[in-house]
Structure 1
Amino acid sequence: MVSISLCMIVKNEEAVLARCLETIKDIVDEINIVDTGSTDSTVEIAKQYTDRVFFFEWIGNFAAARNESFKYATKEYILYLDADDVLLEADQRKLEELKETLDPSVDSVSMYYDAGTDEFGNVTLRYRRNRLVKRAKNFVWKGDCHQYLEVFGNIINSEISITHKKIKHSIGRNLNIYQSKIERGDEFSARDYFYYGNELRENGHYEKAIEAYNDNIALLEGWIEDKVYSCINKADCYRHLGDLENELRSLFQSFEFSKTPRAETCSRIGYNYQRKREYNAAIYWYNLATQLVPESDRWSFSYPAYYTWYPHLQMCVCYYNLGDFSNAYNHNEEAGKYRPEDLKILHNRKLLEGKLGIGQGI
């Protein structure tokens, strides 16, 4: 059985830290917590779980803080979590099994990061991260914002998920880090442009976000998956700006990089046509989305809703507008399999049962 050091960086996480540690404390062999300047009771809570609490002055660089936390690890492998992450019970069992069976020749184990869930427990955003890494390899974090762990060697993919349960959002924090990079005259990589675009988009600066995404796309360097989502996210910006034609153009541009359709794109194309009342075209793209399956080993973002309930619910609306109440009902029921208590779906069911005479002895 391998041994595991948990390494975390925290700041003012009194509301969530204990929740996180309760889900992992009985699995790891060591807990290292680096505080970067808490003014609440975070440190006191941390000390209830470990005597290995350290301090590091925040310098506006997440990679530097994470690298500092890794320095304190003494076990064979390092696991990192954020304070608002948890392991659900099923994933705790999977991690325990992995710990007992992991071949020590493995340098890194990737796990799913379920970065969002809806009110019905469906995962809304998922991607992979190198999550458990061999300490002896001295892997290094890079990037002052949206940092990544540079990993190489014998990497395996697991079915374990780390679930993100955020209760607050640091508005503008990451955007300020990128703006500081610009003021310093730092050269942006393709990755920087992509994540800078994301921060701009999330803060409502859509025109500037489009520029950043175009800068990413224009560079020959960079991860192809970031270019796929630069196109998709650029389309979202155009949608917010009410520019349906450039939205659609950006969505089709994503095919230049993805090569094959993805439900994240198809569902958006469907919605573009739906808003223009071109319902048959919309249905075509929504139906295609339901036939696609996200790749389990894909490392980039995956939004399961676009493969499952969302296109079915939208096809319900489209078929209703075409007067095809039978197909509208069937697709509403498919959506309901994923969101059985969704008020929209319940409303649609009652409406369509009335249209079709279901339950009225007809």
Structure 2
Amino acid sequence: MITISLCMIVKDEEQCIARCLDSIHDLVDEIIIVDTGSVDQTKNIARHYTNKIYDFKWVDDFSYARNYSFSLATKQYIMWLDADDVINDFNRKLLKQLKDHLDPAVNSVTMKYHVNRDQFGNSSFIIKRHRLVRSRCQFKWNGAVHEYLEVNGPIYHSDISIQHIKNKTDNSKRNLMIYEKQLNKGAAFSPRDLFYYANELRCHNELHKAIKFYTLFLNHKEAWKEDKIASCGRLADCYHLLENLEKERESLYKSFEFDSPRADFCCRLGNLLLGRDQVDEAIYWYEYASRLTWDECCMGFYHVPSWTWLPHIKLSFCYYKKGDYKKAFKHNKLALDYLPYDSGLINNQKLIKNKLKNLT
């Protein structure tokens, strides 16, 4: 059995930190809380779980804070969570099994991070993260904002999932301001910085400036492939908001330069064509998406609907529009297999079934 230090950096998390720690405290051997300036009850709540609580002066650098928290760990492995993360009962069991049986030669363990959920509680967006790392490797966090943990050596891809449950929407410009302070100081941005700075610009509706930095990023030879693919999608978002459909289409196609077509990009191309009433052309891309399967080892962004039910809903609509009710029924049924309680799909199935009856 391995031993685990849980390391967290927090600030003003009184609404959710107990929920997070309740889900993990008995599965780790040490809890280290680094507080970056809370003015609420965060630290008092945390004291119910650990006495290892440290104040840290915020210096506009998430990596600096995370590296400090890691430096305090004393166990074999370090796990990190944010205060608005939680591990459910099923994944607690998987984590307990991992702790009991992990080969101590493994340097890093990835876990699935479920970011968004639909009305039925199904995950709509998943990304893999390096969640558990061997302490003796002394892996470091990099990047002042949207920091990442740089790892190497033996990696184990686990089936453990962590749920991200936001209690509040962060509309602040904190991250954007950190990047702009760095620019004003003449800091040289890494490829990753270019990508995430562009993301911040896009989120705050500075679309033309975002396009500039996405383009700079995409032209960078050292940029990570998965970020380049994601960047194509974000660039397409900008052009969509600017109602430049041709540039939006070009951005989606550009993603194919970095890897074979991904289902989410195929669906978006289908959407563009369907919007122009080019139904047959849209069907091509939705059919293409429906035949793709996600690589479980991929560290990129996994948009669950595009790889499961979404192409079938779109195909059902397209075939219904063409009067091919048999195929419309087939694809609506395939979508229902993924979303069996969706009232819209249930009603569609009844409607299409009646259409088929009237034809016989």
* TM-score, normalising length: structure 1: 0.95
Q: Which amino acid aligns with 1:132?
A: L
Q: Which amino acid aligns with 2:165?
A: K
User: In the alignment, what sits opposite 2:309?
Assistant: 309
Q: Which moved more, 1:348-357 or 1:242-251?
A: 348-357
Give the CA deviation at 1:90. Answer: 1.6
User: In the alignment, what sits opposite 1:142?
Assistant: 142
CA distance in 1, matches of 2:212, 2:165: 31
Q: Which amino acid aligns with 1:97?
A: Q
Deviations 1:276-310 (A, max 9, x none): 11111111111111111111011111111101111
User: In the alignment, what sits opposite 2:168?
Assistant: 168
The yes-or-no answer on 1:102 pairing with 2:102 is yes
CA distance in 2, matches of 1:339, 1:288: 21
CA distance in 2, matches of 1:175, 1:324: 50
Tell me the C-alpha RMSD between the 2 structures. 1.7
1:357 alignment partner, SS class = helix
1:212 alignment partner, SS class = helix
CA distance in 1, matches of 2:161, 2:28: 16
User: In the alignment, what sits opposite 2:188?
Assistant: 187
Give the CA deviation at 1:206. Answer: 2.2
Deviations 1:172-216 (A, max 9, x none): 322222222222221112111111122222222222222111011
Q: Which moved more, 1:332-341 or 1:90-99?
A: 332-341
The yes-or-no answer on 1:125 pairing with 2:125 is yes
Q: How does 1:174-213 map to 2 (within 5 A)?
A: 174-213=175-214
The yes-or-no answer on 1:293 pairing with 2:296 is no
Q: How does 1:26-175 map to 2 (within 5 A)?
A: 26-171=26-171, 172-175=173-176
Given that 1:11 and 1:36 are in contact with CA atoms closer than 8 Å, whether structure 2 keeps it comes out as yes
Q: Which moved more, 1:341-350 or 1:149-158?
A: 341-350
Give the CA deviation at 1:339. Answer: 2.3
Q: Which amino acid aligns with 1:244?
A: L
Q: Which amino acid aligns with 1:228?
A: I
CA distance in 2, matches of 1:354, 1:210: 48
Structure 1: runs of 5 or more not aligned = none
User: In the alignment, what sits opposite 1:9?
Assistant: 9
Deviations 1:136-174 (A, max 9, x none): 111111100010111122222111111111122322322
CA distance in 1, matches of 2:96, 2:292: 33
Give the CA deviation at 1:84. Answer: 0.7
Give the CA deviation at 1:314. Answer: 1.2
User: In the alignment, what sits opposite 1:349?
Assistant: 349
Give the CA deviation at 1:42. Answer: 0.8
Greater than 4 Å deviation, 4+ residue runs: none
Give the CA deviation at 1:77. Answer: 0.6
User: In the alignment, what sits opposite 1:221?
Assistant: 222
Given that 1:325 and 1:356 are in contact with CA atoms closer than 8 Å, whether structure 2 keeps it comes out as yes
CA distance in 2, matches of 1:237, 1:346: 35
User: In the alignment, what sits opposite 1:263?
Assistant: 263
2:194 alignment partner, SS class = helix
Give the CA deviation at 1:85. Answer: 0.6
CA distance in 1, matches of 2:324, 2:176: 47
Give the CA deviation at 1:355. Answer: 2.5
Q: Which amino acid aligns with 1:88?
A: N
Deviations 1:304-353 (A, max 9, x none): 11011111111122122212223222222222222233343234234323
CA distance in 1, matches of 2:182, 2:318: 46
1:5 alignment partner, SS class = strand
User: In the alignment, what sits opposite 1:250?
Assistant: 251
Give the CA deviation at 1:120. Answer: 1.7
Given that 1:10 and 1:33 are in contact with CA atoms closer than 8 Å, whether structure 2 keeps it comes out as yes
CA distance in 2, matches of 1:34, 1:176: 23
2:27 alignment partner, SS class = coil
Give the CA deviation at 1:266. Answer: 0.7
2:181 alignment partner, SS class = helix
2:320 alignment partner, SS class = helix
CA distance in 2, matches of 1:312, 1:248: 21
Given that 1:122 and 1:338 are in contact with CA atoms closer than 8 Å, whether structure 2 keeps it comes out as no
Give the CA deviation at 1:32. Answer: 0.7
Give the CA deviation at 1:111. Answer: 1.4
Give the CA deviation at 1:354. Answer: 3.5
Q: Which amino acid aligns with 1:74?
A: T
Q: Which amino acid aligns with 1:328?
A: A
Q: Which amino acid aligns with 1:210?
A: I
Q: Which amino acid aligns with 2:24?
A: I
Q: Which amino acid aligns with 1:37?
A: G
* TM-score, normalising length: structure 2: 0.95
CA distance in 2, matches of 1:57, 1:170: 21
